[in-house]
Each structure stands twice: as C-alpha cells, then as structure tokens.
Amino acid sequence: MTLIHRLLLTLCLFTLPLTAAAALHDQVAEQLRDRLEVATAEAGNGDADPERSPLHRFFLDRVYRPAWSEDGQPTARAEQLLAVLAESRGHGLAPAAYGYDQLSETLRDWPEEPAPGAVADLELQLTRVWLQLAEDALTGQLNPDVVAPDWELQSPPSEDLVQALSQGLAEDDIATAVRQLYPDQDNYHQMRRALSRFQALAEQGDYPRMEAGPLLRVGDRDPRVETLREQLRLLGDLEDDAPLSETLYGEALEAAVRDFQRRHGLQVDGVVGPRTVAALNTPPADRAEQLRVNLERLRWMPRDLGDRYILVNIAGFSMTVHAEGETVMRQRVVVGRDYRRTPVFTGNMTYLVLNPSWEVPHRLATRDVLPLIQRDPEYLERMGFRVLQGWGADEREIDPESLDWDRYSHRYFPYRLRQLPGPQNAMGRVKFMFPNRHNVYLHDTPSRELFQQPRRAFSSGCIRVERPLELAAWLLRDQRQWSPEAIDKALEERQERTVPLRRGIPVHLQYWTAWVDAEGTLHFRDDLYDRDTGVAAALAALPKPEPTLWPELGAATRR
C-alpha cells in the first residue's frame, strides 16, 4: 500500500461520523486491505506492484471503500451482477463457471448483521466475478494458445476493465458495462439468437428423428415424410402453414430440403439421403454446443479486421472480400486435406504473381511428385517441370533423362523441382501472396472440377480460389495500368510477372463450423479438422469457483 493511499485511508477513518454504519464501513475497508495484501504476499508477489492485480488496483483506487454493499447489506448492483451472469448463457458462457448458484444463495441468505469479514469477502467475490465475466466477454473464456495451439491469432481486444467497472459503478449500470465488451457484430448477435433457439429446442426434449430408409425424391410417398416435415419446421427451413400431405414428398417440401442442404454444406439436390438424414437428426444440444464453440472463437478475434479485408473460412470452404462494411465478393475455395491442414492466422497480402512458376516444396516433391515420375517417365515433360540443383548463382538445370529415378525416395532426393508457367501449372494463372512462415497463399488451379464438390479439402495447405481473375481485378482496380484487359494481355504472354499492390490488404484465415451470413442465414458445417472437440472439452472443463474468495490466478485454460 503506497504512503499516499495509507494517508487517505487514515483521513477517511478519522473524518467519518462515529456511527455504527461508519464503524462497519471502516472495518470492512480494513478487512479488504488486509485480505488483498495477504493474497498478494501468498501469491509470491510481495515485492510486486499491487496495481498489476486488477482486483487489488480496483480497491486501491477506491481507498478500499466497499463497492457492492452499503451498511453491510448488498445493494441493487449485486442483483444486477446476478442478472448479467444469467444473461451470459445466451452468449455461450456458463454462469456456473462464475459461481452463479453460490452467489445467488449467498445473497438470498445474507444476514441482517453481517461480520465485517463476511462483507469484505462478498465485496471481493463480486468484484472478481465481474472482472472475470468482463474479461471473458472481451477475449473469451479460454486461452487459444493452450486449447488451440495450431492457431495464430492477432492480439485480442484490450480494455481497462478496472476503469470500465468504475465507470459502470459511477453510472449505476454495471450490466451495460459488461454488455458493451462483447463483440458488436451482426454475425455474433445473430448466432446468439440461434443459440437461444437451439438451447430451447434441447430443453423441450423429444426432438424427432428420421429413420433410415431408401432415398426420398419428389413424388415419393413414405411415412418418414411426416418426421421430415416436422424437423424442417423446427429448424426454420419450412413455413408452419405450408400445405403438405402427410406422406407425399412434394415440391414445397423439396424446396425446404434444398435450403437445409445449402445451409449445411451438403449436395444441393433435394434428395434425402444418408448425409442429409444425419444432418437432420443432429440433436439440438449438439448444435447449441457447436454455436457455443464458434461464439467463443469470435471473442478471440480482434474487433477491427480492417476497413477492407479478405476472410477465408476453412471449414466452410469459402472466401469473402469485404470493403467499407460491405461484402463485395464471395467465392468457393479448396483447402488443405486433413493431414495437410490449412493453418489459422492473419497475413498481409502485398503482391500477386501472374503466370507463376511453382517451386515445389521438398516434402511435396518427394512424397507426391516423385512417385508419379517413377511411374511415368514422361510426366516431367508433360507437366512442364524442370529439375534443378543448387541455389542462386550455383543453380543448374539437370537433364531428367540422365537420372535413375528409382534411386531416390523421400529420404534422399538432392534436387529441386520447378513447374514452369502454363496450363498445367498447379498455381494456375495467378497467385496471391501474403508472406508467412507456413508458405501458404491463395492461388488459381487447373483442377476446376473440384469446386463442384460440397466438401473441398484437396490441397496441400494453400487455398485454391474459384474465380482468381475476378479477385485480381478487384485488388488492382485502383491501379490504372492493370485494367482487366491489361491483366488478360499479361497472362497471354505466359511470362512470370510480380505485381505489387498499391495498398496491402489483411487476409484472415479462420475456422468456423457455424456462422450467420450477410443475408441472416444460419450455416453449419462438419468439423473438418476436429478442432471443435478440443474447444468444447475445454469449455466443459472450466473450473467451478469455491464459494469463498477466488484466487487471483485462474486455471491454465483461461487467458
């Protein structure tokens, strides 16, 4: 405790009227000071600046005046905190993780003449709960570095939570002080509403399940149609007043099935087969958990993605381009196979390459391309590959016919492979570069047929773009020398050319298995890389607090 704060506390003690309430106030302040100093010492921080602890700093700034009680009795602020804790469930948080039941019981059974120590404990507990809830609203309940170490995220949002609480208390509205810390994005708010709907469906129980059976097509009659219709109504894909036969799979029902398939990343054919049935039969509780996981991920993200940016949703096989608050482009993408997963990170796109050559990474050269060469000696020439050895001034080209390809394997291959620009080049006609340690980028591809697949995980980690020339034209739209016609002309020359962007653009590679699009449509996708499982398990394992004062350090999974 600093000298100035001790003097202020002493001044307060000697200037207050000597009433019972004032005496209790002083005793509570002394108990608060003593408890916090003891907690700091026991944590091994006796020589540290107590202001490093938000809890200690909050009361130090108040000269240890109580914040949640008056004359020993909890004020309406404590009830506000209970209300905002209960409300946190709608954000995918768990009120139990903040001791909601214990606090409710404590406040309900609060004595008329409490001991000063009990009041101090309550003050500390309520403050710690508010600070923890506020931190979780701002940056999530979990530490992604622990539960998702394969993610690389930008710095999370920051806020002076002690100041936010002090301001909330001054305005007598600590609930709004928490609410304004949650992400303020349409996607987040609409996912919250979807979470509430699925939580309600889960609590109702008896969600209908469709039995396995033959494929259902328009015109078929089947007793399962009644269950199908009920499921689609509950999930919002079918109007309640739609005139439908009990057993006929008619056109109106098929249209609803197509909408459902589109929202779930299935083949949109209106045919009710095993994958569609499996998605329809997913319990509402599982969908609620999926939404909860993805709401947590949204809280991990920085609030400002940029005034213009590219967003790739790996699990959704999609790319969107955003500018000045609008979505200006949507494209399908191909992402990494399960064993060559596309990483999660943010980069800054600074240039693109027209007619790129492809320097094949050594791992891919030995594990993917080498077996093809060994099976087909003409493969190298047909696909436009050159065999190289050395780097820079020492680089030389090797005649592939001079090599005994059967001698080499992934353990020994002293050469490099470079694919020249051309129609067979794996990079296609253009690649979009945002330098990063993963050597991942966006690019064109000659394998156009893959974009017709609903599940598009075929690459070695990079992202293949469905309409790359459209993206290139948009990125270069403010560079007059690079009109669409100029781009086409450069591509016809088949000469590799680097084109710097006048202004870089952030590229956010994210992984969402549930989201709401700009039209307000809720989407779900399979957990492509099994990343939801770890987050869900960590959320379920969050420690429940003790009824007494919480330790200043939380569990390792918290930030």
CB atoms within 10 A of CB 296: 23
From 25, 462, 508, 523, the catalytic residue: 462
Burial class (CB in 10 A: 0-12, 13-18, 19+), 451: middle
Taking the C-alpha atoms of residue 299 and residue 464, their distance in angstroms, rounded to an integer, is 28
Taking the C-alpha atoms of residue 106 and residue 104, their distance in angstroms, rounded to an integer, is 5
Taking the C-alpha atoms of residue 256 and residue 179, their distance in angstroms, rounded to an integer, is 36
Taking the C-alpha atoms of residue 64 and residue 42, their distance in angstroms, rounded to an integer, is 20
Q: Which amino acid is it at 436? A: N
Taking the C-alpha atoms of residue 460 and residue 467, their distance in angstroms, rounded to an integer, is 19
Taking the C-alpha atoms of residue 546 and residue 124, their distance in angstroms, rounded to an integer, is 13
Sign of the torsion angle spanned by Cα atoms 527, 529, 531, 537: positive
* Residue 57, both tokens: 């700093």
From 25, 91, 443, 508, the catalytic residue: 443
Taking the C-alpha atoms of residue 293 and residue 537, their distance in angstroms, rounded to an integer, is 10
Going by C-beta distance under 8 Å and a sequence separation of 6 or more, which residues neighbour residue 249? Answer: 216, 217, 218, 219, 220, 221, 222, 225, 228, 272
- The verdict on whether 12 is a catalytic residue reads no
* Residue 311, both tokens: 């967003």
Catalytically active residues are 443, 462
